[in-house]
Amino acid sequence: MAEVVYNVGKDRVTANAIPNAATNLKAAIVITSKTGADNPELATMAAIDAVGTVAFHSERVTLTSVTKATDNTNDRINFDSGNITFAAAAGVSALALIIYDATTDTSDSTRIPISFHDTGFPQPMDGGLVVNVTDFLRAS
């Protein structure tokens, strides 16, 4: 199990590039293999895709209802979104989920990874996949 914030993702957070109600965040599902995809030094989605046998499912989903809230009790900032729904894909197994910044959404070489999540995975996508989100990122 690994929940990782990529170094470039940390930079996006500290630069306030993920504002409250952000509309520039998307999610991608990792298929085939996730080995190495959680390396925090990877700086683009293309770099992640180039690791070993890592591959992405073709569907990319925009995050909705993104909120950024200060949590004074736990001394951190929480980033949350609505649940993420992917369409059915027969025979596909979701191994992990990556949230990325799609501000410059021309290709995976311009998409900046924010965080990697594999808790609760793998999951079959035969009947679709709903990822329940509770604070996809916590910065302290």
Strand boundaries in the chain, DSSP class E: 3-5, 25-31, 55-62, 67-71, 76-80, 84-86, 93-94, 96-101, 112-117, 123-124, 129-131, 137-139
- What integer pLDDT is reported at residue 106 of this predicted model? 83
Cα 11 vs. chain centroid, distance in angstroms? 15
Q: Are residues 75 and 84 in contact, defined by beta-carbon separation less than 8 angstroms? A: no
pLDDT at 2: 59
What is the C-alpha to C-alpha distance for residues 99 and 34, in angstroms, rounded to an integer? Answer: 14
Residue in the block written with tokens 């995976």: 108
Question: What is the per-residue pLDDT for 63?
Answer: 94
Residue 138: strand, helix, or coil: strand
* Residue 16 pLDDT: 84
Residue with tokens 């979701």: 94
Predicted TM-score (pTM) of this structure: 0.93
Tell me which residues of the chain have a pLDDT lower than 50: 1
Q: What is the pLDDT of residue 110?
A: 94
The amino acid present at 85, given as its one-letter code, is T
